[in-house]
Structure formats: structure tokens, C-alpha cells
Amino acid sequence: MESRVGTGFDVHQLTEGRPLILGGVEIPFEKGLLGHSDADVLVHALMDALLGAAALGDIGGHFPDTDPAYKGVSSMKLLEKVKKLIDEEFYGISNVDITVMAQRPKIKSYINDMRKNIARTLEIEESRVNIKGTTTEKLGFVGREEGIAAQAVCLLYR
């Protein structure tokens, strides 16, 4: 059996006037993430990890922010498209592990819903999806609440 590891990293700026979407869940907060799509930084990092493991490039190549078709699109819809690309290459998803870096808001109470969304979209068991949140102890752009970052790793097999 062939196994392949992929990593993904993404950052989006926090701004007023936008909803905060993480893992397909809208989180009540005074700011949201700035981006061409819904700016779901968690899902963006995950998509890059999946695409990387399959040697299929990155989300910018598949869903460019210059394409009006992706303006305001749900990142969960894009994750569905990435899942189809992975399926076309005959890969299965062993597991995914995602870390969200945000000073605020705390995401702990939303993680189960995020895991359900991702597992359903990737057609894998929830036990194969791990999500955790961390702060940067008030250091850097995350600590100053200027943005949120996410890092993801996945293991594919065939």
C-alpha cells in the first residue's frame, strides 16, 4: 500500500462586517475573515494538505481568487471538489489533523460540529478528523487579533 502525507497552511485577516466561518460553522464573533470566498482558513489549510499529498498543486491553482465563480463561495463546497479530485486519483483518506491558531474566539465548543462537517464532506468517519485550537499567547498577528491561521496534515493511501 502506498501512503502519502500532505501539509497545508493558511492565514486570513480578521475584519469587521463579515461572518466568521471555521470548518463550515458560523461562529458568533464581532469580526470575520477577509477573503474572496467565505475565507474559512481551517478548510483552506485542509484542502492544501489533501491536494499536496496527492501532488495536485494547491487551492490557488484550482480555485483562483481572481475567478468570480468563487466570490463568496462556501469553502465546504470547494472541499467537496477537492474530495472528487482525490477520488479520481484513487486515494483514500486515512486521517486529517488540523490546528487553528486564534487568540479569540475560543473554538472548543464548535469543534464537534466542525468535525462532523468535514467527516461528512470527505466521506470518512469522525474518528479520522481531529481539530484543535491554540492561541499564540498574545504574540504576533494572531496574538494581536489581526488574523487567524490554520495548519493541517493528512495521510492518504491507495
Dump pLDDT digits (tens) for 101-129. Answer: 999 999 999 999 999 999 999 999 999 99
Model pLDDT for residues 89-107, shown as the tens digit of each residue: 999 999 999 999 999 999 9
Distances (CA, A) of 75 to 18, 47, 141, 157: 15, 9, 23, 24
Q: What is the CATH number of the domain that holds 76?
A: 3.30.1330.50
pLDDT digits (tens, 9 = 90+) for 24-76: 999 999 999 999 999 999 999 999 999 999 999 999 999 999 999 999 999 99
Q: Is there a binding annotation on residue 59? A: yes
Widest CA span in the chain: 48
**pTM value surpassing 0.85:** yes
121 labelled as ligand-binding?
no
144 annotated as ligand-binding: yes
Residue 1's pLDDT is 86
Confidence of residue 144 (pLDDT cuts 50, 70, 90): very high
- Helix extents (H) in the chain: 41-53, 59-62, 75-88, 111-122, 140-143
| Per-chain mean pLDDT for the chain | 97
Asked whether residue 115 is marked as a ligand-binding residue, the answer is: no
Q: Is the dihedral of CA 156, 33, 22, 36 positive or negative?
A: negative
Q: What CA–CA distances, in Å, run from 144 to 18, 102, 104, 113? A: 19, 10, 10, 27
158 is in an annotated binding site: no
Number of domains composing the chain:
1
* 62 marked as part of a ligand binding site: no
Distance CA 27, CA 8 (A): 22
- Does the annotation flag 27 for ligand binding? no
Instruction: Give me the residue label for grid cell 499529498.
Output: 53
Residue range(s) defining the domain that contains residue 47? 3-157
37 is in an annotated binding site: yes
Residue 82 labelled as part of a binding site: no
